[in-house]
Amino acid sequence: MQKVKYIMNPSMLSRLVMVLAIVLSLVAIFTVVLTRGVSRNGPTGPTECKTVIVVASGDTLGKILIDQGLNNSDVNAIADALKKNAGISTLRADNDKIEFTRPDETSPVSKIVLIPSPWKQVELTCSENGGWNCNTVEIERDTHAVYKSGEIKNGDSFYLAGIRAGIPAGILIDVFDLLAFEMDFERDVRAGQHFSVLYEENFSGGEKVENGHVLAVQFEALRGNVKMYRFKKSDGTTGYYDENGNGAIKSLKRTPINNAKVTSNFSSGRKHPVLGFTRAHKGVDFRAATGTPIPAAGAGRVVARGFNRGHGNYVKIRHNGTFETLYAHMSKFAKGVNVGTTVRQGQTIGYAGSTGLSTGPHLHYEIIKNGTHVNPLTVKLPAINNLGDADKKKFLEYRKSLDNGIEKLSQNPDWFIQM
Ligand SMILES: [Zn+2]
- Dump pLDDT digits (tens) for 176-193: 878 866 766 766 788 999
All domains of the chain, ordered by start, with CATH?
A: 31-138 (3.10.450.350), 142-250+399-418 (3.10.450.350), 262-374 (2.70.70.10)
Distance between CA atoms of residues 120 and 141, nearest Å: 10
Output the CA 339–ligand 1 centroid distance in Å. 23
329 touches 355 (CB < 8 A)? yes
Output the CA 100–ligand 1 centroid distance in Å. 61
Distance between CA atoms of residues 36 and 136, nearest Å: 24
Output the CA 382–ligand 1 centroid distance in Å. 24
Distance between CA atoms of residues 55 and 67, nearest Å: 13
* Residue 191 vs residues 4, 248, 297, 352: alpha-carbon distances, Å: 6, 25, 29, 39
User: Residue 102: beta bridge partners?
Assistant: 49
326 touches 316 (CB < 8 A)? yes
Output the CA 280–ligand 1 centroid distance in Å. 10
- Closest C-alpha among 320, 327, 326, 328 to residue 370: 320
pLDDT of residue 165: 96
pLDDT of residue 277: 65
pLDDT of residue 278: 66
Distance between CA atoms of residues 241 and 228, nearest Å: 5
Q: What percent of the chain is predicted at pLDDT more than 90?
A: 50
Strongest mean pLDDT among 46-60, 192-206, 241-255: 192-206
Whether residue 20 is predicted with pLDDT greater than 60 in this model: the reply is no
Whether residue 14 is predicted with pLDDT greater than 80 in this model: the reply is no
pLDDT of residue 10: 40
Output the CA 365–ligand 1 centroid distance in Å. 7
Output the CA 333–ligand 1 centroid distance in Å. 18
List, for residues 99-150, the tens digit of each pLDDT value: 999 998 888 899 999 998 888 999 999 888 878 899 999 989 999 999 999 9
pLDDT of residue 320: 76
CB-CB neighbours of 146 under 10 Å: 20
pLDDT of residue 1: 40
Distance between CA atoms of residues 414 and 198, nearest Å: 13
Tell me the whole-structure pTM to 2 decimals.
0.60
Distance between CA atoms of residues 156 and 48, nearest Å: 54
